[in-house]
C-alpha cells in the first residue's frame, strides 16, 4: 500500500511563486490520485509488495502494464519534484562542488539556467524537465507525460513539472514565467548536491 509522502515544506512556503491553492490541487488531488490509482492497479498482484522504483523498472516499456508504469512513475516524479523545491524565503546557493559540476557540464551557471528553461519550454504538452547525471556528465533532458529518467538509466538531480496542472492556477498559459520563478527562487540546491 503506497501512501502520499508528506510535503517537505508548508503548503504556503512556495508563495508568491506557487500558491497554496495550486498545492491543494497538485499535491492534494493530482499526486494523491496517482497514489490511489497505483494502489488499485497493483492490489492482489505480485507488484503489491514491490518497492516503487522496482515497479517502475519492471513495467517500463511494457504495453500491457502501461497504466501501472504511468501511475508509479508519476508518484516517483512528484515525490522528486517536491524535494527539488525549497521554501521561497530560504536563501540557498549551489555548493562549490555542485557549481563546479554545472560549470564543467554547461560552460557556465547562466548557460545551465538557459538550457533548463529552453528544455522545459520545449516539452510539447505534458511532461517534465530534469537535471540528470549521465555517467560523469550533467545534462538537461525532458520526458513526456509520466516518463522518468530512472527508466532510462539516468540519475536525476532536479525535476520541474511542466504539466499544465503545475502552473495553470497561478500562471494560466505562461509556462515560461512558472519555469523562471522556479529556476530563480525555488530550486533546492542541497537536494541536487545529495544526488550528485
Ligand atoms: Fe504534476
CA of 149 to the centre of ligand 1 (A): 16
Tell me the pLDDT tens digit for each residue of 172-188: 999 999 999 999 999 99
Q: pTM higher than 0.95 for the full model?
A: yes
pLDDT beneath 50, residues of the chain: none
Task: Set out the domains of the chain in order of their start, with CATH numbers.
Answer: 18-196 (3.55.40.20)
For 120, half-sphere exposure in the C-beta direction (CA atoms, 13 angstrom radius) is 28
pLDDT value at residue 19: 98
pLDDT value at residue 186: 98
Enumerate the H helices of the chain as residue ranges: 20-25, 32-42, 52-59, 66-84, 96-106, 109-122, 168-171, 175-185, 189-195
d(CA 158, CA 192): 6
DSSP 8-state secondary structure symbol assigned to residue 87: -
CA of 73 to the centre of ligand 1 (A): 11
CA of 113 to the centre of ligand 1 (A): 21
CA of 62 to the centre of ligand 1 (A): 23
Q: All 3 cell numbers of residue 84?
A: 527539488
CB count within 10 Å of CB 52 equals 14
173 Cα distance to chain centroid: 19
32, 4 contact by CB (below 8 A): yes
Tell me the pLDDT tens digit for each residue of 22-50: 999 999 999 999 999 999 999 999 999 99
CA of 28 to the centre of ligand 1 (A): 11
pLDDT value at residue 80: 98
pLDDT value at residue 110: 98
pLDDT value at residue 55: 98
pLDDT value at residue 59: 98
Amino acid at each position: 500500500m503506497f501512501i502520499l509522502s508528506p510535503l517537505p515544506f508548508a503548503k504556503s512556503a512556495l508563495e508568491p511563486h506557487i500558491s497554496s491553492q495550486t498545492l491543494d490541487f497538485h499535491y492534494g488531488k493530482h499526486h494523491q490520485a496517482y497514489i490511489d490509482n497505483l494502489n488499485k492497479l497493483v492490489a492482489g498482484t505480485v507488484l503489491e509488495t514491490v518497492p516503487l522504483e522496482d515497479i517502475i523498472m519492471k513495467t517500463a516499456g511494457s504495453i500491457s502494464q502501461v497504466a501501472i508504469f504511468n501511475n508509479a512513475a508519476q508518484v516517483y516524479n512528484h515525490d522528486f519534484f517536491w524535494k527539488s523545491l525549497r521554501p521561497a524565503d530560504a536563501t540557498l546557493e549551489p555548493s562549490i562542488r555542485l557549481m563546479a559540476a554545472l560549470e564543467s557540464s554547461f560552460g557556465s551557471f547562466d548557460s545551465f539556467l538557459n538550457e533548463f528553461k529552453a528544455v522545459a519550454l520545449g516539452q510539447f504538452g505534458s511532461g517534465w524537465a530534469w537535471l540528470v547525471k549521465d555517467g560523469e556528465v550533467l545534462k538537461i533532458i525532458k520526458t513526456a507525460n509520466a516518463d522518468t529518467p530512472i527508466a532510462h538509466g539516468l540519475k536525476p538531480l532536479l525535476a520541474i513539472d511542466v504539466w499544465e496542472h503545475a502552473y495553470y492556477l497561478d500562471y494560466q498559459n505562461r509556462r515560461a514565467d512558472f519555469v523562471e520563478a522556479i529556476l530563480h527562487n525555488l530550486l533546492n540546491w542541497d537536494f541536487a548536491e545529495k544526488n550528485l
